[in-house]
Amino acid sequence: MLRYSIAHFEIDWHQFVISLPIVVAAQGLALWWTGLYRSLWRFASLPDLWNISRAALLGVTAIGLLLFLYNRIEGVPRSTFLMYPMFLVFLLGGPRLIYRLWKDYGTVPKGVSRTINTQRVLILGAGSAAEMLARDMRRATEYQPVGFLDDNIQLKGAKVQGLPVFGRLDQLQTITQENAIDMVVIAMPSLNNTQMQRIVTLCENARVNFRTLPKVEDLISGEAGLQALRRVSIEDLLGRDPVTLDWKEISQGIAGKVVFVTGGGGSIGSELCRQIAKLGPATLVILEHSEFNLYSIKMELRNNFPNLELAPHLIDVCDEVALDHAFTRYKPEVVFHAAAYKHVPMLETQVREAVRNNVLGSRAVVLAADRHSATTVVLISTDKAVNPANVMGASKRAAEIFCQNFNTRSKTHYITVRFGNVLGSAGSVVPLFREQIERGGPVTVTHTDITRYFMTIPEATQLIMQAAAMGAGGEIFVLEMGEPIKISYLAEQMIRLSGKIPDHDIEIIYTGLRPGEKLYEELFHDQEKLTKTRHEKILLAQSRHVDWNHIQLIMEEMENACQRYDEPLCRLLLQKLVPEMEHQSPIVDNVVKLNRAKP
């Protein structure tokens, strides 16, 4: 009609009526084929515009062919084939755009005003996550996005979602004051921990409330909106860049195989179960001494992996009869031995339990795996096993010694993986500090200079699995832990992240080193020269030979001492097997003097 009016011709209504059904049918099929009818106007966006454009071009091509076959396009001006798709894109896209704008910015729930209890928000970052977040906020009633800050100087003065990019991140304090900002949101999911520490410091100096989006590896695509906002956690500051793993190699060692996880309800054990479940084992057998922990991980895995062949068993690793029964029934190919007592001060006064569980329990698992021809056993060890100053570390070192030396006497491959503390594990310093902060303090730190290595639980477990896939037997793999962190810094940051000021709102008190506690931990012994492996975050420590007859003799004496509940002898035997153990408590000195005095 427009074409005829431009040329001042009279419309050929007969041809119009004849060709209209062909146009509607062909274009309708094109729109249906491109999926436009399934899209919601409420969320119309660039993909919908692309679909409209594609459908318009496809439709005009089909219409031209059909009209040519029908009547050689008689009575249809050729220029309409150029005008038609442009009109179609405009008339299909325009209403969607208007509706989207109206729903995003033109509607407010009844009785709610955007100016009442609305928080003025400054968004840090001006990328796709920030743009998506600003769009969500403009639809909400409780947030009013004001603008962005970004270190990309080319973005200064630009606009995102119609909001200005004020400048660089280091202008945060000035911008928050000038624009009466109530909240800052960190919308940069790809930040590493050093960058996050800098931004948190800027927010703290500006004395403004702040939130963040999860890290990029934790974000589900498209979920960078308000529902993902959370407080900055200590893991954001101390966590590290995502590890790169050879999942193909890891999967080959797990998929389709029967896998045992001892201590499968603990912090490391349960995360190992989650990671293993993703790889499709034939059967995942969880051995756990705690009824509640076993129930918790069982229910979680049942919900998240309904097709997983799961076998949870209440078993004490010191119970050789129960172990033999489980190994006979399931015939595991891979065993991850994570069951251990790990609380340093507690084990200082309960040496017998540390020896029984950490040493003799590990020996029982190792021997059961050998008897039942398991392919691989992975011992989860700790940095406290290096030059141990406590019973816990010495007991783990004793387990390492047995695994390494038994490896040459068995067809099973025994691999040790050693690493430092994991953030948020049960009984560790992070949940303790959180509890103390929630109570209003004080936060207790043992020493001003005490340091520890930290990594996240998922990173630790993934690297354990990678090391297990790399090992051939007899190795001690040491996970690269980065730089040690001062516990006093950890306490201060956790207090600040809770919105409090250290030593003002919440006091930090120093209580002195506990029995068996060291100022710093080491990841390898002087005689264990580290070498690189093909994975940048996994190092190989040269193992130390210990006489096998000496090991067997001490293990037998340990078993007899445990049966008699002879704790002083348990400690002495532990020191004999691990001579680098530092005996700092009076009970050790007394036992040593007593034995020296004997003929």
Map tokens 């146009």 to a residue: 23
CA 319 to chain centre: 34
CA of 576: how far to CAs of 349, 483, 553, in Å? 18, 32, 11
Taking the C-alpha atoms of residue 363 and residue 369, their distance in angstroms, rounded to an integer, is 10
Task: Residue 373: name the closest of 418, 313, 403, 328 by CA.
Answer: 328
CA of 78: how far to CAs of 59, 67, 72, 286, in Å? 15, 12, 11, 74
Q: Which two tokens stand for residue 111?
A: 């009785």
Taking the C-alpha atoms of residue 353 and residue 552, their distance in angstroms, rounded to an integer, is 19
Q: Indicate the residue type of 19.
A: S
To the nearest 10 degrees (0 to 180), the angle between helices 193-206 and 487-497 is 50
Taking the C-alpha atoms of residue 193 and residue 240, their distance in angstroms, rounded to an integer, is 6
> What dihedral do alpha carbons 23, 28, 31, 33 form, nearest 10°?
-110
Q: Which two tokens stand for residue 424?
A: 């948020």
Q: Which two tokens stand for residue 460?
A: 């630790």
Residue 263 contacts residue 339 (beta carbons within 8 Å): yes
Task: Residue 131: name the closest of 46, 194, 36 by CA.
Answer: 46
CA of 191: how far to CAs of 166, 188, 195, 503, in Å? 20, 6, 6, 29
How is residue 203 annotated by DSSP?
H
Map tokens 């141990």 to a residue: 388
- Strands 485-486 and 451-452, sheet pairing: antiparallel
Task: Residue 446: name the closest of 523, 520, 341 by CA.
Answer: 520
How is residue 541 annotated by DSSP?
E
Map tokens 């304090």 to a residue: 173
- Strands 443-445 and 376-382, sheet pairing: unpaired
The SS3 call for residue 366 is: helix
Task: Residue 476: name the closest of 427, 424, 525, 421 by CA.
Answer: 525
Which positions are catalytic? Answer: 384
Query: Which residues have CB under 8 Å from 43's CB, separation 6+?
Result: 100
The SS3 call for residue 418 is: strand
Whats the size of the chain, residue-wise? Answer: 599
Q: Indicate the residue type of 220.
A: I
Taking the C-alpha atoms of residue 531 and residue 239, their distance in angstroms, rounded to an integer, is 25
CA of 565: how far to CAs of 318, 345, 559, 578, in Å? 15, 19, 10, 20
Taking the C-alpha atoms of residue 533 and residue 483, their distance in angstroms, rounded to an integer, is 19
